[in-house]
Amino acid sequence: VVPGWLIDRAINRNLRRALQHHGVHVAAGHFGAHGRHGGIGHELDAHTIKRGAATQIGRIGEQEGAPPVVLCTLPDPGVSPAFIALHPDPLKRAVASAKIALMNNQLKTLAGQAGTPLADIHAVLLAMAVADPFELNRIPFVNAGHPENPSDHLYCKDSLHPALVASGLIAAEVIEA
């Protein structure tokens, strides 16, 4: 799985070489969701993102010897401790979550139409958020960040990005797709 910024660079500058050396993880956020990440007022145009993702899937699929493409749903930042702290009004978070759900439905439709595997990252992070506490193999994990990034916390110190265990669950979802 290649980080999103590297995918952008590869697509824009040297896609063929990158595809020969790396597996590709096609993330929804890289196809038209430009602007502030996760801002409550940020308009997500699900159809623009779907068109962009379809274009990139087609371009990657045309490359000789290209590795498989996995389309991922967009995670809802509204379930992260940082986002909840920044935007405590649940009604505003619900508006943003509804927009993300609309976009994810478009991406699921696209994956089905294109015959592209879909990793439901949204569902993975949502399952961690609603469990109290979240447990994996009967081991409880803290749904928060911590300045020292201990392994029992689901979020990094910024309380927005997934930490080790959460990243592992996301990676497992991508691999299973």
Nearest to 60 by CA among 23, 110, 106, 28: 23
Cβ burial 145-155 (10 Å sphere, 16+ → b, else e): bbeeeeeebbb
How does residue 45 score in pLDDT terms, banded at 50, 70 and 90? low
Q: pLDDT at residue 127 above 80? A: yes
Contacts of 82 (CB under 8 A, 6+ apart): 145, 155, 158, 159, 160
Residue 154 confidence (pLDDT): 94
Supply φ then ψ for residue 77, to 5 degrees. Answer: -65, -15
How confident is the model over 105-122, as a mean pLDDT?
Answer: 89
Strands 69-72 and 118-119, bridge-based pairing: parallel
- The pLDDT of residue 9 is above 80: no
Residue 123: the pLDDT is: 95
Q: Comparing 146 with 31, which gets the higher pLDDT?
A: 146
pLDDT of residue 47: 65
Q: What is the pLDDT of residues 149-160, one digit of tens each?
A: 899 999 999 999
Average pLDDT over residues 26-55: 52
Nearest to 145 by CA among 84, 67, 70: 84
Contact 110, 50 (CB under 8 A): yes
In this prediction, residues 111-126 reach a mean pLDDT of: 91
The mean of the pLDDT values for the chain is 76
Looking at per-residue confidence, does 92 or 58 come out higher?
A: 92
Mean pLDDT across 90-116: 87
**Which range has the worst mean pLDDT, 4-18, 38-52, 61-75, 81-95?**
4-18
